[in-house]
Structure 1
């Protein structure tokens, strides 16, 4: 028979007795039952009493006086036991409180060639294409205008340029198979407008040849060219914010070019289309340049520009403009401003409420102030 004092003075004996108790079959069954009860949330007073009774009971090889001492605290008043008794009835097992992580499905948000159209739009386009190609192996260039406007949702005067872009083999026809594999709308724009000023020439030539509001210009090819140039410069001034001279698909989507061109296609009076294509706007810009270009070599210098707006500009700001601070000149003649450069200048001067004009004069003023 061992006293509590003897057990306290022999910790190795206590560990040996505890290890022997853990190796008993009854102890193993008790531990498994306790774990199962905790997992299922059915931990009860009976289970606790069973654990206490098992803990207090020892195999017959040990006398009753040799049992390991229990905790001096009463089991009935133990905060841990109270918590275990109350938690199943109120909240259930703590293991059940942790919900399993929900797998969140992130939708596909990046598409290399642009977001594909909805299935409903695809079906409508396929049905319309089948109708246009019914009984035909392919469409010729004069038959392509309806496809351009109804299926591709582009202005009708884009048809010739679009047809030639699609017909890369110069076969003279566009087949149903080729048209079905082109993405609608956004990629049609990218195929059509290849990001440089030269790619707009066939489009504007078709516009000049077909639009009733520009019929009076057909007898003056020189002014047709100047009008087309001015429209292109205005487009790049407002849309090509990067200033690279190459329109990107992003700039086309963010801009209003297609809606403006569709307005041109629907409106017979070209002067009502204020975005890019108004002939009256072209007339004012061209006459201002012609008035300043006294030698009519289609270039102006500092002395010419200083007369703009009844000498509204200072010599110092004119020096900044010709130093190409706000924008690099496209003119290859040193000390001369070409027509394209003048278009950018006059658009910035006449409308300072939009971002291109604000940027033009802000850069000029910023560099002007830093040099004083």
Structure 2
């Protein structure tokens, strides 16, 4: 058994030595020429015979060749063939691997001279494998070239070029602002409400865009670009490689003038601005992963913006577009902000924010929000939350499963900013939850038990240190955060609220935010209807009196 173990240890080293010797042999010029000649013969359909002697030493090869090969050596440019030239190595192709002699078929001098005739016979035989043409299905695929358009892009560009040619032929004098919409939508693939942006870009001060300018811009700017890259180039400012909030606000304003689902806002410019601010903020919330207020082309590529913008253009009911553009979602965000803003200065302080969802958030997490730990505040006023800040807060609060929400709350819990949430930091926030449980006469769950449950749920890669990646991999990051700073949702989860479970199972296609916005909009609409009814009753009673 000891000897067997030694043999097992020797096998890997022996294999490594063989590999080393083979690689050394393969690096020799003679060996390379030998392999090349084999490949050339295979390509020409010639038989290669036995190749055993091709692996003999150069000296053995020379002796065997001089002893058995009667034909003269091949010519060389200098009149004398090198000792180990490719032509000399051809001898080894016909050597027998056992005794180093020529194979029986070519053992006599006369047989060597008949080889060309045998090759001709083989090539004339259609059934012989060497005479068959290679199967096209077995050909190697073309190597990927990132600079070369894919077949899908080429096919799309061909159809778009045909569409452009037909459109320009029917408008020989150029395209005005109305006919240009077809160029923007059918040829370039943009939504119709972005056609004015492209028209201004190409027309300048002119009233029409000429055929030459359309063709030149098409060929040189977007012909072989993917839809995401086209959209990015259209929206970004000149000379910069990113898209800002102002860019979005400028170009989406045309949507307010053309979409039938937003006609009712035309009489209220203030709400038009608030709606657009909400849409743009939601776009940045989801897609600006660096959170630096600059959307890059990579952000566009990874987003669903092209698909959503096309859906907005085709769907007359704006509320069906749940991503970014739903007016009902905007209504919920704006009304929740307005309810908390008692003095209506469009700013929230700590006393305002703690009232959110019936005092659901703890004071300690509210302090972290106002410190800018979760996200730097944009209101411009110290210790105040603006409308944009509140959008990020409410979206993160009601859907803690999104990547942005995980980043938002992780920074809030990570007190020392070292990139990990430790038991000490968890306990700091949970202490206030314990106090609330005691005040509300709820069953108190001790921190030690919570720590064990959260560790089992998150399964951190490093024990005692929960990273952001750990929470992204976790299936229930919302539970983790709610345990630490939202007692209402913690209790709902702990008691397995049947209404919540039914709602989630009935609408699996919706996000937590979608469900919340749907319920909250129904509540707000009912309250508004009741308020109008009370006003009508009071007004009617006054008339009767």
Match of 2:185 in 1: 149
How far residue 104 of structure 1 moved from its aligned partner, in angstroms, is 10
Distance 1:43 1:315 in 2: 90
1:106–1:267 distance in 2 versus 1, CA, 3 Å: closer
How far residue 38 of structure 1 moved from its aligned partner, in angstroms, is 5.9
Match of 2:174 in 1: 138
Match of 2:144 in 1: 107
How far residue 308 of structure 1 moved from its aligned partner, in angstroms, is 0.8
Distance 2:375 2:147 in 1: 34
How far residue 37 of structure 1 moved from its aligned partner, in angstroms, is 7.8
Q: Is the 8 A contact 1:116 1:183 kept in 2?
A: no
Match of 1:347 in 2: 395
Q: How many residues align?
A: 295
Match of 2:99 among 51, 72, 84: 84
Q: What runs of 5+ residues in structure 2 fail to find an aligned partner?
A: 1-62, 71-82, 105-139, 237-242, 429-545
Distance 2:103 2:400 in 1: 73
Q: Does 1:367 align with 2:377?
A: no
Distance 2:412 2:256 in 1: 37
Distance 1:206 1:344 in 2: 25
Match of 2:232 among 190, 196, 200: 190
Q: Deviations over 1:47-85 (max 9, x none)?
A: xxxxxxxxxxxxxxxxxxxxxxxxxxxxxxxxxxx8434
Match of 2:164 in 1: 129
How far residue 255 of structure 1 moved from its aligned partner, in angstroms, is 0.7
Match of 1:164 in 2: 200
How far residue 180 of structure 1 moved from its aligned partner, in angstroms, is 2.4
- Across the aligned residues of Structure 1 and Structure 2, the Cα RMSD in angstroms comes to 3.1
TM-score by length of 2: 0.50
How far residue 191 of structure 1 moved from its aligned partner, in angstroms, is 2.1
Q: Is the 8 A contact 1:239 1:255 kept in 2?
A: yes
User: Bigger relative contact order, structure 1 or 2, given CA contacts below 8 A and separation 6+?
Assistant: 1
1:29–1:122 distance in 2 versus 1, CA, 3 Å: closer
Q: Deviations over 1:71-128 (max 9, x none)?
A: xxxxxxxxxxx84348967xxxxxxxxxxxxx997431257xx879633322222211
Match of 1:202 in 2: 250
Match of 1:277 in 2: 325
Bigger radius of gyration, 1 or 2? 1
SS in 1 for 2:99: helix
1:87–1:309 distance in 2 versus 1, CA, 3 Å: farther
Match of 2:217 in 1: 179
Q: What runs of 5+ residues in structure 1 fail to find an aligned partner?
A: 1-26, 45-81, 90-102
Match of 1:39 in 2: 90
Q: Deviations over 1:13-45 (max 9, x none)?
A: xxxxxxxxxxxxxx999379598786333347x
